[in-house]
Amino acid sequence: RGTMGAGAVGVALWLATAHVLGLRPPSAFRAPRCLPATASCRARVTLATPESARAAREMAEIVAQSPSDGKAWMKLANLARRERDLKLAERVLSAAVKAQPTNSLLWQALADTLREAGRYSDARALYRKTLGLNATLGSAYHAWGRMEAALGNAEAAHSIFERGIARGLPRPNPRLLHALGVLLDGTLRRTEEGRDVLLRALDCEPGNRQLLHALGLLEANKGNVTAARRYLLAAMDGAGLPETAAVANATAAAAV
C-alpha cells in the first residue's frame, strides 16, 4: 500500500517506533481510540496482534537503548515492510544508517525498500553506496541486477551480475550465477552462454532446485527433451545430480 492502514498491527508499529524516530502518526491514527493514552488501551492493541506488536515494541526499545544493534534495526524495518508500510520502513532504515553509516546490510535494506516503492533512481544510488561499503556483498548485486533486468536494462543487469560474480571469487555466488544464466538464456538469447553459467553454478550446488529447474527450462526451449526431463525430475524430487557439470553438459549435447 505504501502507507499504512489503521489496523491494530499498524497502530502498534507506530506506537513502538514513534519515540525512537520522532514520528508523528498519520491522521488516521490521531483519534483517541486509535492512539490509546492509557496502559489498558495499549494492552488491548498489543493483545489484538500479540506477536507483531510485541516484536515491534521490543525492537524499538532495543534500538533506543543500543543504536549500534543492526539486527534490531533490521527486524523493526522488516515488521514495517511486512505490513507494506514502505514509508515507515524507509524512516526506520534512514535512522538506522545514520546510527550505523558503515553497515552495508542496512544500506541495502534501504535500497530494497526504495525499489519496492518504485523509486528506482534512488534505489540505484543506494545500491552503489552499499557496494562502495562492501564490494563483495552478493545480495546487493543480485537485488540491483534483478531491478535493472525488470526495468528492461538487460545489459546493465548483465554487467552487475558479472561484477558480483568476479568479486565473489574464488567461489562464485550460485544466486548470481543463476540470475546471470537466466538473463543470458531468456532476455539476451545467448543460450549456450547461459547453459555454461548455470552448469558452473550447479558445480557449486549440485542439488539446487532453482538451478536444475532453470536448466530444465533451457533444454526444453532448445528441444532437448531428454536432458530437460532429467533436470526437471531432479528439481522435483530434490535429489540433485551426482555427476559434474562436464558430464551433464555432455549428456545435454548428446540429446540434441
Residue 34 has pLDDT above 90, yes or no: no
Q: Which helix (H) or strand (E) holds 133?
A: helix 120-133
pLDDT at 42: 39
In tens, the pLDDT along 138-188 reads: 999 999 999 999 999 999 999 999 999 999 888 889 999 999 999 999 999
Distance CA 21, CA 11 (A): 15
CA angle 109/111/114 to nearest 5° reads 110
0.85 exceeded by pTM? no
Cell 553497515 -> residue: 103
pLDDT at 59: 78
Residue 213 has pLDDT above 50, yes or no: yes
pLDDT at 18: 57
